[in-house]
Amino acid sequence: TPRVFSGIKPSGGLTLGNYLGAIKRFVDMQGGEFETIYCVADMHAITVWQDPEELRQATREVTAGFLASGIDPESSVLFNQSRVSAHAELGWLFNCVARVGWMNRMTQFKDKAGKNAEKVSLGLYAYPSLMAADILLYHATHVPVGEDQKQHVELTRDIAAKFNHDYKVDFFPACEPVIEGPAMRVMSLRDGTKKMSKSGESDMERINMTDDADTISKKFKKSRTDPEVLPEEMEGLANRPEARNLVNIYAALANMTGEEVLAEYGGQGWGKFKPALAELAVEHLAPISTEMKRLMDDPAEIDRILAKGADKANEIAQPILNKTFEIMGFVR
C-alpha cells in the first residue's frame, strides 16, 4: 500500500492554517487507498527554543487536535517523533547526504533566521534534512502539506535521489507534495501577504483551533480588508490579498471553490460576508475545540495513544533504518 506521511510541529497552539492546510486534509486521506502516518514533530519544534512545560502541553494539544478533527489512531499511525529514535538516526545519515548549498536555498530558513542567521540553532538550518528522514523512513510517497512546505518536500526528493545514486541502489522512493484546495496558504488576518502562523506576534492575526465563538467572530470582524465589495470572479481578487484570503478560508471551510463562494457573495460588502464567514468557522471549529478540551482533560490517555502509535511507527521504520545502515556499510 502506498504511504502518506505528514506532521505538525508542537511549537504552539494549532491555527486555522494548520487545520485547513494540513489536518483537515490528513483526515480526508485516511481510510482510502493509502496507509496514513501522522506525526507530532516535537524534534522539529525545538529548532527554536521551547519551554519544556509548554512543549509537553503543545504536544498533547496538537495530538488532541488531530484526534478531535477525526484522525483515528486505529486507522492511522499517530505518534510523536522523539519516541521513534530512527528519525534522529536517519536524520544524521541524511545530514551527510544533503549539501550545504541545498540548505542555503531554503526560503523558510531565510524567513525564520532573518538577519540573525548567525544566532539561530544549527538544528533550524538542518531541519529539512530531518524532515526528509521523517518521510523516507516510511518510504512514504505522498506528503500532504501547505504550500510553505513544498520546497522541503522537493529537497526530500533530492536527498533520496542522491542517496540512491551515491550507493548505487534503488532504495528510497521519490515522494511528492500533495498541495491542493483553496487553503494551501492561509494568510494572517492582519496582513494578507504574511502566512498565518502559530508563532505570529499578535493573537489577532490568527484563529486558534481552541478559540471560542466570540473570539472567532471578533477576529474576523476586525480582520483587515479593503473598502470594496466582493467581485463576481476570482480574478477580481488578484490585487486584494486580504479579501482573497477570506474568500479562500470560506471556500475551504464550506468545501466550495472560490468561484462558487463569489457566485453567492459577489457584489456584497464585508458587513454581510464577515459574519457569514465567522458563523461558518464557528460551526466547524466549535465541535472540534470542545472535543479537544475534553481530550486534554485526560493527558494520560493522550500519552497512551501516542505510545501505541510509536510502537506501530517503529515496526515500519526500524527495518528501513537497518537496511540503510547496511547499504552504507555500517557494522551492526
* Coil, strand or helix at 9: coil
Q: Report, in Å, the least distance between residue 179 CB and ligand AQP.
A: 8
Q: Is 296 annotated as a binding residue?
A: no
219 annotated as ligand-binding: no
Q: Does 22 bind ligand AQP (CB under 6 A)?
A: yes
Residue 17 vs 73, nearer CB to ligand AQP: 17
Q: In terms of Cα–Cα distance, which of 213, 77, 99, 256 is closest to 163? A: 99
Site for ligand AQP in 199-218 (CB under 6 A): 199
Exactly one of 63, 149, 289, 324 binds ligand AQP (CB under 6 A); that residue is: 149
Please give the full DSSP string across 173-222, using - where no structure is assigned: PP-EEE--STTSSPBPSS-TTSB--TT-S-GGG--BTT--HHHHHHHHHH
Which value, to the nearest 10 degrees, does the dihedral of the CA atoms of residues 149, 152, 156, 158 take?
A: 130
Q: x/- contact string, 167-206, with ligand AQP (CB under 6 A)? A: ----------------xxxx--------xxxxx-------
187 bridge partner residues: 195
Q: Return the C-alpha torsion angle 48, 52, 57, 63, nearest 10.
A: 60
For residue 167, give the C-alpha cell: 550507493
Q: Binding mask 40-79 vs ligand AQP (x if CB under 6 A, - otherwise)?
A: -x--------------------------------------
Kindly state the cell numbers that stand for 308. Answer: 501505541
Confirm or deny that 148 is annotated as ligand binding.
yes
Catalytic (active-site) positions = 112, 195, 198
18 is an annotated ligand-binding site residue: yes
- CA torsion sign for 292, 35, 19, 310 is positive
Binding site listing: 9-11, 17-18, 134, 146-148, 186, 195-199
Kindly list the residues in this chain that would bind ligand AQP in the complex (CB under 6 A): 8-9, 11-12, 15, 17-18, 21-22, 41, 145-146, 148-149, 183-186, 195-199
